Each structure stands twice: as structure tokens, then as C-alpha cells.
């Protein structure tokens, strides 16, 4: 029995081919342009270094920062997971609009859910590149490892990334509805959504970030600007 062209465009294998083609289209843009790769890791790293120096400056006069010297660094790295996850979705869609390729995608067999899966995959790649670079320099310069949080890090990463995806898809919908005049939402929407977060979420995140570095010091993963008297009895934080 002959296989028609329409049959080849249906099914899971055909859907995976289309998703793979969309991912490769955007991955080639990153691989062939080193300024894009540098810029994705540059801004998270600069933000992390800034808050690390603020912590160093305030730690001698602030007992809270003495107890949790990695609080600001960990918070900034987790914030960038949310921000880069949202930008990964939004900028992937904006790239299609700028290159005037959106019409070509809509007349192709590519389905809407395949386009969304491609956007989400690129968002994960962009987030890993950007936040991964900042995590590396946080360990290299300040001996702080975000991975000392353990299993809660997986939950934080998944929740923040999913929230960023939701905002990114909403921004893509606004751009599709109102055109490139709404592209500024790609950078502003995340800050508008941040104002709506509950105080309980902020307190729970702060408590986890405050307790983890203390236990990490007991395992020899001390941050370089920790107070010496806090290291004298590390077991008091991990009892």
C-alpha cells in the first residue's frame, strides 16, 4: 500500500521531526553567534557579582547576612531561572517575527503545540547557558554552590521555569495580537508579575536559602566571605 504525502505528515515521528527542525533552527543561531552566547551568560553573572559584593560590604555589620552569606547570591541565581526561562520563550517567538518567518511556519504542517514545545525547549537551553555561567562564576569567585541546596533546588527550578514559561507564552500571545509594539513586555512582564507574588512565598524561599549555606559550611563548602566565628561550631546550624 502506497504511503501518501499526507500520511508522512501525521503521527508521532512526523511531529518529532518538525519539533526537531524548529529547535535546530534556533540552536544554529546560538551556535553560530558567539555574542549571543556571551550575552546570555553575561547579564546573570554581572548581577550575581554585584549582589555578592553588596553582601561582602554589609556582612560585617549585619547579623542576618553573617548567618546566611549566600542568601543574595542564591536568590539572584533563582531569580535568573525565572527571568531567563521567560525570555527564552518570548525571544524565540520575537526572533520568528523579526525574521518574517512566522507566516512560513503557519502555512507549514507545524502545529501549535509543536511550536510551543520548540519554544519551551529553547527556553531550557537558554536558561541552562545563562544561569549555568553565573553558577560557575559564583563558585569560582565566592566558593558558593547553588547545588548545596540539594533536592529542593529541583523543585525551585521546575516551578520557576514553569512560571516563566507561562509569562513567556502570554507575552507571545500579546505580540501576536498587537504586533511588535508589545515586544517591550518581554522584559517588563516579569517585573509586573513579581509584584503579585505572595509574601509567604518570599519568606519560604528566604528561609531555605538562609539555612542551606549554614549546613553547607558544615560539609566544607564554605563561602569565602563567611565570618570565622560562625565556622567555629558548624554543627549548630545542622543539628
Q: Which residue has the higher pLDDT, 174 or 215?
A: 174
DSSP secondary structure code for residue 222 in this structure: -
Question: Residue 138's pLDDT is what?
Answer: 92
Distance CA 157, CA 85 (A): 10
Alpha helix positions (H), the chain: 5-8, 12-31, 34-58, 63-67, 71-98, 102-106, 112-142, 152-178, 185-194, 199-218, 228-231
**pLDDT at residue 154 above 90?**
yes
Mean pLDDT of 210-238: 43
149 touches 212 (CB < 8 A)? yes
Cβ count within 10 A of residue 130:
25
Ramachandran area for residue 33 (φ above 0: left; ψ -120 to 50: alpha; else beta): beta
CA distances from 92 to 19, 33, 134, 176, 224 (A): 14, 15, 22, 13, 38
Mean pLDDT of 170-190: 85
CA distances from 168 to 9, 10, 38, 175 (A): 28, 28, 22, 11
Distance CA 70, CA 78 (A): 12
Confidence of residue 127 (pLDDT cuts 50, 70, 90): very high
- Picking from 46, 238, 45, 49, the residue whose alpha carbon sits closest to that of residue 148 is 238
Distance CA 72, CA 218 (A): 20
Question: Residue 126's pLDDT is what?
Answer: 93
Sign of CA dihedral 92, 123, 189, 54: negative
Alpha helix positions (H), 149-196: 152-178, 185-194
Give pLDDT tens digits for 43-85.
Answer: 999 999 999 998 888 888 877 777 777 888 999 999 999 999 9
Confidence of residue 121 (pLDDT cuts 50, 70, 90): very high
Confidence of residue 194 (pLDDT cuts 50, 70, 90): low
pTM score above 0.75: no
Mean pLDDT of 217-233: 41
Distance CA 119, CA 152 (A): 26
**pLDDT at residue 156 above 60?**
yes
Distance CA 212, CA 233 (A): 16
Question: Residue 106's pLDDT is what?
Answer: 85
Amino acid at each position: 500500500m502506497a504511503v501518501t504525502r499526507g500520511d508522512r505528515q501525521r503521527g508521532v515521528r512526523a511531529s518529532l521531526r518538525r519539533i526537531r527542525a524548529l529547535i535546530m533552527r534556533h540552536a544554529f543561531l546560538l551556535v553560530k553567534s558567539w555574542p549571543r552566547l556571551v550575552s546570555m551568560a553575561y547579564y546573570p553573572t554581572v548581577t550575581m557579582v554585584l549582589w555578592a559584593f553588596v553582601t561582602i560590604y554589609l556582612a560585617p555589620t549585619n547579623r542576618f547576612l553573617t548567618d546566611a552569606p549566600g542568601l543574595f547570591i542564591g536568590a539572584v541565581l533563582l531569580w535568573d531561572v525565572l527571568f531567563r526561562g521567560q525570555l527564552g520563550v518570548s525571544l524565540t517567538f520575537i526572533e520568528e517575527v523579526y525574521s518574517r518567518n512566522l507566516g512560513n511556519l503557519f502555512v507549514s504542517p507545524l502545529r501549535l503545540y509543536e511550536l510551543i514545545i520548540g519554544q519551551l525547549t529553547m527556553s531550557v537551553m537558554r536558561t541552562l547557558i545563562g544561569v549555568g555561567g553565573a553558577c560557575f562564576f559564583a563558585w569560582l569567585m565566592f566558593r558558593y554552590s547553588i547545588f548545596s541546596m540539594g533536592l529542593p533546588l529541583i523543585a525551585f527550578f521546575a516551578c520557576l521555569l514553569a512560571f516563566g514559561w507561562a509569562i513567556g507564552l502570554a507575552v507571545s500571545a500579546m505580540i501576536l495580537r498587537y504586533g511588535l509594539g508589545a515586544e517591550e513586555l518581554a522584559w517588563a512582564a516579569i517585573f509586573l508579575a513579581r509584584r503579585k507574588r505572595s509574601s509567604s512565598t518570599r519568606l519560604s524561599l528566604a528561609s531555605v536559602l538562609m539555612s542551606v549555606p549554614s549546613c553547607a559550611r558544615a560539609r566544607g563548602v564554605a563561602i569565602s566571605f563567611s565570618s570565622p566565628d560562625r565556622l567555629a561550631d558548624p554543627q549548630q546550624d545542622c543539628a
